[in-house]
């Protein structure tokens, strides 16, 4: 639900609020596939609002706090690939 709300907000160029909702959805999502899907939305919204670097930095901070860094390392890699492609 949060991701859907974020998508609507991003569509109306309310990027700051959209990013907040995408981050909350990311935090609440337990499965890696879901997190990876949200990473794409985070990066796209970050690029649209010229805050893509903030998205990357937040992923790095989250990864540093995790005992098992593998899932967030994959998310960070996916975000960097998406950022370079765009």
> In 3D, which of 9, 11, 41, 44 has the Cα closest to residue 26?
41
CB 39 within 8 A of CB 74: no
CB 14 within 8 A of CB 2: no
**Predicted pLDDT at 85:** 87
Q: Cα separation of 69 and 19, whole Å? A: 23
* Residues of the chain scoring pLDDT < 50: none
């Amino acid at each position: 639900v949060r991701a859907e709300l974020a998508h609507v907000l991003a569509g109306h160029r309310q990027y700051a609020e959209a990013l907040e909702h995408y981050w909350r959805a990311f935090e609440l999502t337990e499965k890696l596939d879901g997190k990876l899907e949200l990473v794409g939305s985070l990066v796209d919204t970050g690029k649209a609002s010229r805050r893509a670097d903030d998205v990357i930095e937040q992923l790095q901070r989250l990864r540093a706090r995790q005992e098992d860094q593998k899932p967030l390392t994959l998310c960070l890699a996916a975000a960097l690939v998406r950022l370079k492609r765009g």
